[in-house]
């Protein structure tokens, strides 16, 4: 049985969905840490083999999720803690040599607000690769060679994003690529409240657009870390999912009258999802659900992620530098 009819880019939600369906799951390990005081949950989902990958619908690799409702609020104290966790976990996904060269890629379309996360992160990265011998004295020995590129989306460039990244990577020759993108979640509660980091790479446009050529170690020939935040829920997923939860609640309260319900549940999930998409026509593939304050929140999230990167990538850049100059 497949789990792909819910549209989500979060491994955590694939895992939840499988559990809800009561399925067995091999090849997947999950560990959770919680900071109750600050309301931050970190979940590490490890897909260890192809069986796990097949049930999860995601490639083998590590998927770290940081969840906190404070991300979308204007709470700089909580943000500082999230930045620290982000920087630390990024270091665990990939160990950087002191002289490593890094290329940050901001995926997405800066003109569509909920898709602009990647380009906005790139704007806030402390880029240093071009300084070379002109490095200001106070930065010498404190920074790695970092570059950042927002390649745009295929509909506007006419070029597969993976091609652009590969072409540029062949010139920059980095030791690691970090690709940032806006994602789609299944649950509205996770919108703008979750950061996922993974060493399994990414398919650009998975959040708001169509699946495209992958950017990962296999295609790029170097380690690729994907970092994303769900900023939307796909409209059909929202309807499907809400309906399912509603039916469950009603079935519980009227267990004797389930004939129709059973029929409804008995529909192949695929069929039901298709039916919803049809009803949502003509815009369906291009409709998304997003909160009203998305413009303001995207800016905050980009600040958190870029700050985490600046600390993780540059050995001599501290939380204090970030607070004072870089946020």
Site for its own copies in 209-238 (CB under 8 A): 209, 235, 238
Closer CB to its own copies, residue 30 or residue 112? 112
Which of 163, 219, 274, 319 is in the footprint of its own copies by CB under 8 A?
163
Structure tokens at 210: 């169509």
Tell which residue, 289, 108, 109, 129, has the closest CA to residue 202.
Answer: 108
Quote the least distance from Cβ 165 to its own copies, whole Å. Answer: 9
**Out of 27, 57, 274, 291, the residue judged to bind its own copies by CB under 8 A:** 291
Q: For residues 92 and 325, which CB has a smaller minimum distance to its own copies in the complex?
A: 325
Residue 255 in the binding site for its own copies (CB under 8 A): no
Structure tokens at 206: 């998975």
Give how far Cα 2 sits from Cα of 6, 19, 89, 183, Å: 10, 13, 30, 21
Measuring CA to CA, which residue among 6, 46, 182, 199 is closest to residue 107?
A: 182
Number of residues that bind its own copies (CB under 8 A): 90
Q: Would you count residue 288 as binding its own copies (CB under 8 A)?
A: yes
Q: What is the DSSP string of 35-75?
A: ETTTTEEEEEEEE-SHHHHHHHTS-SEEEEEEE-GGGGTT-
For its own copies, the binding residue among 130, 140, 210, 221 (CB under 8 A) is 130
**Side by side, which strands form the sheet with 28-35?**
28-35, 40-47, 61-67, 194-198, 224-234, 176-185, 101-106, 145-149
Q: Does 276 bind its own copies (CB under 8 A)?
A: yes
Considering only residues 1 to 20 of the shown chain, the ones binding its own copies according to CB under 8 A are none
Cβ–Cβ under 8 Å, residues 91 and 139: no
Shortest distance, CB of residue 134 to its own copies, whole angstroms? Answer: 12
Least Å from the CB of residue 275 to its own copies: 6
Which helix (DSSP H) or strand (DSSP E) does residue 180 occupy? Answer: strand 176-185
Closer Cβ to its own copies, 53 or 112, answer by number: 112
Select from 41, 217, 219, 258 the one that contacts its own copies (CB under 8 A): 258
**With binding defined as CB under 8 A, does residue 168 bind its own copies?**
yes
The answer to whether residue 172 forms part of the interface with its own copies (CB under 8 A) is yes
Cβ closest to its own copies, residue 202 vs residue 239 = 239
């Amino acid at each position: 049985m497949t789990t792909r009819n819910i549209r989500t880019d979060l491994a955590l939600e694939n895992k939840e969905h499988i559990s809800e369906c009561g399925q067995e799951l091999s090849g997947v390990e999950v560990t959770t840490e919680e900071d109750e005081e600050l309301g931050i949950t970190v979940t590490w989902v490890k897909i260890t083999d192809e069986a796990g990958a097949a049930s999860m619908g995601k490639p083998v690799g590590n998927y770290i999720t940081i969840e906190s409702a404070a991300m979308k609020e204007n709470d700089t104290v909580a943000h500082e803690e999230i930045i620290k966790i982000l920087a630390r976990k990024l270091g665990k996904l990939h160990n950087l040599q002191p002289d490593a060269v890094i290329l940050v890629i901001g995926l997405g379309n800066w003109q569509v607000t909920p898709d602009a996360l990647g380009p906005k992160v790139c704007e806030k990265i402390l880029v240093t690769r071009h300084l070379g011998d002109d490095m200001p004295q106070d930065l010498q020995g404190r920074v790695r060679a970092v570059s950042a590129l927002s390649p745009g989306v295929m509909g506007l460039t006419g070029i597969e994003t993976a091609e652009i990244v590969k072409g540029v990577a062949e010139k920059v020759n980095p030791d690691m690529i970090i690709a940032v993108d806006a994602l789609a979640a299944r649950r509205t509660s996770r919108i703008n409240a979750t950061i996922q980091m993974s060493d399994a790479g990414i398919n650009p446009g998975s959040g708001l657009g169509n699946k495209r050529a992958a950017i990962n170690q296999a295609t790029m020939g170097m380690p690729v870390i994907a970092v994303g935040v769900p900023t939307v829920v796909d409209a059909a997923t929202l309807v499907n999912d809400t309906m399912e939860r509603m039916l469950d609640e009603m079935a519980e309260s009227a267990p004797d009258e389930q004939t129709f319900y059973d029929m409804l549940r008995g529909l192949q999930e695929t069929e039901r999802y298709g039916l919803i998409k049809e009803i949502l026509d003509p815009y369906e593939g291009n409709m998304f659900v997003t909160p009203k304050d998305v413009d303001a929140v995207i800016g905050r999230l980009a600040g958190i992620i870029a700050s985490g990167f600046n600390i993780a990538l540059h050995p001599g850049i501290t939380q204090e530098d970030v607070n004072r100059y870089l946020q």
